[in-house]
Structure 1
Amino acid sequence: MAAKTNRLLALDGLRLLCALAVAFHHLGMAWSVDGVRPTTAYLPQEVNSILIYGFLGVEIFFMISGFAICMSGWDRTPRDFLASRAARLYPAFWACVLITTAVMTFLPLTDGIPLPHGLTATDIAVNLTMVAEPFNVPYVDTVYWTLWYELRFYALFALLVLIGPTRRRVIAIGAGWLTLSVVVPAGASLAELVMPQFAPYFVAGIAIYLIRRHGPAWPLWALLAAAWALSLFRVRERVLFANPGFPVPVWPAWLIITLAYIALLAIALGVTDRWRWRWLAVAGAISYPLYLLHPRIGYTLIRYAYDRTGVPVPVLIVAVAAILIVAAWLVHRLIERPVAPALRHWIATGSVRPSRSQVEHGTGLSPDGWAASRSVPGPPEQKGRASVQPGARVSSSCSRREETGW
């Protein structure tokens, strides 16, 4: 049954594909706490050669984030932007940190350790802030490193929200960011802000959103082409760094990244605007908690089941993935939906009671890289759609329809 929604549901589906790619990459490449007894020993080499590319889901997440954060922040005040980001990221994150801690505490591995580096209660508390990285505190789960990149991107975009985004300003900032990502050495202190490894993906998402909002124009195509070219160079570095113990050709990674560019561009140009399948909204909603829950919990469940039952590893990987999907839905349904609207309303207004419409429509679950998109003005060139001229601002009453996701 088609869902009546104003979201870009195709973005939800793309987000879940990315989350599943990362999950199967991790569960299929190594399922112990510290890389002991890698799963690759139990899987055919042909399967390993496919699963290895699942890490590219992170790069595509960052592209989606560039698109969705630009969309969600365009017509907001800085306080609204902060409220939407915090409400989307923190409730599920808090729940997943505590769930992972509990699982790793009560199901310790015999040849691993319950929590990495013997985390203390203070370390776990720091993890809950989502800024463990700058404080040099080990993560409860290794995938949290991507959130530190997201937070820095949010901080950069918040400055743009503060001064007011326009097409010209955003293009200039995107071009400048790409340039700095090339000239700033990886080890320099400025690299912490520039994020050279992943900057092209954020910039690509921003450029694609501008194409969605203002229509194609040569400065946007030039920015997108530069981001794509730099993405291919950066992804080559990531493939070479992977080093799983067997040959990993670079060309499939280039193909996957290029297809991601094409898919996101198709969404921006309105190719998927008529997609109204309700399951896509659910897919986008669970992608973020699935990403947060899958590594250490997944490793632990597979290891415990294999050591005690001897069930083939491929069967366990699929079964554990299904369990994690259900757990992700429960986190979304029981934690995000009730908590996020209240948190967002509190940050935005100082009151802890969201309006009835916020609760009913889940507007606390606002967008970002993990979110399904709010509707935005359709491609200007399409007939029957309201056109948005370059530099024009869309009134919040007609454009601020919420998305859900990371």
Structure 2
Amino acid sequence: MTSLLTAPSAAPPVEAAPLGGRPKTRLYTLDGLRLLAALMVVCFHFIGFDNWDASPWGASTRKLFPDAHYAAAYGWLGVQLFFLISGFVICMSCWGRSLQQFAVSRLLRLYPAYWFAVLLTSGVLLLTGRLDAVPDTLSKILSNLTMLQEPIGAGDIDPVYWTLWAELRFYLLFALVAALGLTYRRVLYFCGLWLLMTVLAPHAGIPLLEIFAMPDAAPFFVGGILMFLMHRFRPTLALWILLGASWILAQGQLRNMMKSAETSVHHRLSWTICLAVISVFYVVVLAVAIKRTPLFNYRWLTTAGALTYPLYLLHEELGWEIIRSLHSHVSPWLLVTGITALMLLAAWLVHRFVERPAVRAMKRRIAPQPAG
């Protein structure tokens, strides 16, 4: 009898990567889903967020957007879709690569656009008086440039940066597996152990274990990894069992995550709707993973993927500054539509004139050169 941990020998339903290479079939659908996740977060911040004391709108968003507000109040769940896709994509991009190649690829992917966003956002907030020009502020900006401001205790220049610390911890954990060389069995063990760690860590009293357990994010990262294994090797009983466990643990964290979101929207959220949304995320990404010809797998969606990260980094604080300046002169819907379009344009400009040139320049200096 074949062990549950043995990689299936049959060919996968979607063409897998040759050893040392990337998959021959690019899943453009994931690029579109990433942009959808970012737009959900944008809607949450501009329409769902209801900060009564210091609203950039000068009024409650429930009054300004009486119907849309209650839908946008669930936009924070777009972060969970990000994490699900991240688990899939990181495992896919790391397969067949060395640890050094993996580290360099993450450095090039994360930092150029992030550095630009930190400096731009800091500059705007200094000009508008949201940041004071004092030594402590300079220290905060410099700390943010490391992307380690949360463990340092410096605080985020833009609140959206909190997810980057979660991503970094995921990369560090996955790097341990990458250092050994990725195989079906090793990645499967990693997924099982991480899920177990999310259950045990809150009760272990070990701070370092708690930091890396990430019970609210780990089930989604693991879910994405498992779906990639299904994509590369084909579904197996072990993968289905662990994927079910990741979904169960994800839904178990919903009430804790909802409490944080409810402080931002100032009303109760429906657990049933939240569960339905994350379940749809699982089903959609799973369909992309195991379907021979994924739906909506259009090449032009690479542009959507390229816009996602800069859009996410730029939209919140800069968007709120524009709202503060113009909400008295422009109708709410026109202003939200215009800001979203402006942020998409800014995201494209950052990708085209910051990310791409910076990545090319950095790659020449730090990317490992082939032997010989």
Q: TM-score range by the shorter chain?
A: 0.7 to 0.9
The code of the aligned residue for 1:131 comes to: L
Residue number among 116, 132, 142 corresponding to 1:95 in the alignment:
116
Classify the secondary structure of the residue corresponding to 1:134. helix
The code of the aligned residue for 1:86 comes to: L
Deviation at 1:276, TM superposition (A): 5.1
> Is residue 2:194 matched to residue 1:177?
yes
Residue number among 225, 232, 243 corresponding to 1:224 in the alignment:
243
Deviation at 1:107, TM superposition (A): 3.2
The code of the aligned residue for 1:202 comes to: F
CA distance in 1, matches of 2:36, 2:134: 32
Report the equivalent of 1:147. Answer: 164
Report the equivalent of 2:340. Answer: 321
Classify the secondary structure of the residue corresponding to 2:327. helix
Distance 1:41 1:116, change over 3 A: farther
Report the equivalent of 2:79. Answer: 58
The code of the aligned residue for 1:157 comes to: F
For the Cα contact (< 8 Å) 2:87–2:224, is it kept in 1? yes
The code of the aligned residue for 2:361 comes to: A
CA distance in 1, matches of 2:292, 2:134: 48
Q: Deviations over 1:133-177 (max 9, x none)?
A: 111002110111100010111011111110112111111111111
Distance 1:132 1:38, change over 3 A: farther
Report the equivalent of 2:3. Answer: none
Deviation at 1:247, TM superposition (A): 2.7
Deviation at 1:281, TM superposition (A): 0.9
Deviation at 1:237, TM superposition (A): 2.0
For the Cα contact (< 8 Å) 2:52–2:60, is it kept in 1? no
Alignment of 1:230-379 (within 5 A): 230-243=249-262, 244-270=265-291, 272-273=293-294, 275=296, 277-307=298-328, 309=329, 311-349=330-368
The code of the aligned residue for 1:152 comes to: R
Q: Tell me, which stretches of 5 or more residues in structure 1 are unaligned?
A: 352-406
Residue number among 23, 38, 44 corresponding to 2:65 in the alignment:
44
TM-score by length of 2: 0.86
For the Cα contact (< 8 Å) 2:121–2:318, is it kept in 1? yes
> Is residue 2:227 matched to residue 1:208?
yes
Deviation at 1:117, TM superposition (A): 10
For the Cα contact (< 8 Å) 1:266–1:272, is it kept in 2? no
- Larger mean CA deviation between 28-37 and 226-235 belongs to 28-37
Q: Looking at secondary structure, tell me which structure has more helix per residue.
A: 2
Distance 1:147 1:38, change over 3 A: farther
The code of the aligned residue for 2:315 comes to: H
Deviation at 1:274, TM superposition (A): 6.8
Q: Deviations over 1:243-301 (max 9, x none)?
A: 23223111111111011101111111135547453431110001000000011001010
Deviation at 1:126, TM superposition (A): 1.3
CA distance in 1, matches of 2:134, 2:36: 32
For the Cα contact (< 8 Å) 2:223–2:247, is it kept in 1? yes
For the Cα contact (< 8 Å) 2:85–2:224, is it kept in 1? yes
Deviation at 1:30, TM superposition (A): 3.8
CA distance in 2, matches of 1:336, 1:242: 31
Q: Deviations over 1:79-121 (max 9, x none)?
A: 100110000110110111111112222234xxxx346999522
Alignment of 1:383-398 (within 5 A): none
CA distance in 2, matches of 1:348, 1:97: 24
Q: Tell me, which stretches of 5 or more residues in structure 2 are unaligned?
A: 1-23
For the Cα contact (< 8 Å) 2:144–2:156, is it kept in 1? yes
Alignment of 1:68-83 (within 5 A): 68-83=89-104
CA distance in 2, matches of 1:263, 1:318: 27
- Larger mean CA deviation between 23-32 and 259-268 belongs to 23-32
Report the equivalent of 1:166. Answer: 183
Deviation at 1:303, TM superposition (A): 1.1
Report the equivalent of 1:194. Answer: 213
Distance 1:6 1:215, change over 3 A: closer
Report the equivalent of 2:14. Answer: none
Percent of residue pairs identical: 41
For the Cα contact (< 8 Å) 1:32–1:299, is it kept in 2? no
Distance 1:33 1:348, change over 3 A: farther
CA distance in 2, matches of 1:294, 1:345: 31
CA distance in 1, matches of 2:52, 2:152: 22
Q: Deviations over 1:165-221 (max 9, x none)?
A: 211111111111111101211775121011111110011001000000110100000
Alignment RMSD (CA, Å) = 2.4
The code of the aligned residue for 1:344 comes to: K
For the Cα contact (< 8 Å) 1:101–1:115, is it kept in 2? no
CA distance in 1, matches of 2:145, 2:107: 12
Distance 1:216 1:294, change over 3 A: same
CA distance in 2, matches of 1:164, 1:38: 54
The code of the aligned residue for 2:174 comes to: F
Distance 1:245 1:30, change over 3 A: closer
Residue number among 154, 169, 174 corresponding to 1:137 in the alignment:
154
For the Cα contact (< 8 Å) 1:33–1:299, is it kept in 2? no
Report the equivalent of 1:370. Answer: none
Which of structure 1's runs of 4+ aligned residues deviate more than 6 A? 31-34, 115-118
Classify the secondary structure of the residue corresponding to 1:27. helix
Deviation at 1:348, TM superposition (A): 2.2
CA distance in 1, matches of 2:170, 2:299: 30
Distance 1:304 1:11, change over 3 A: same
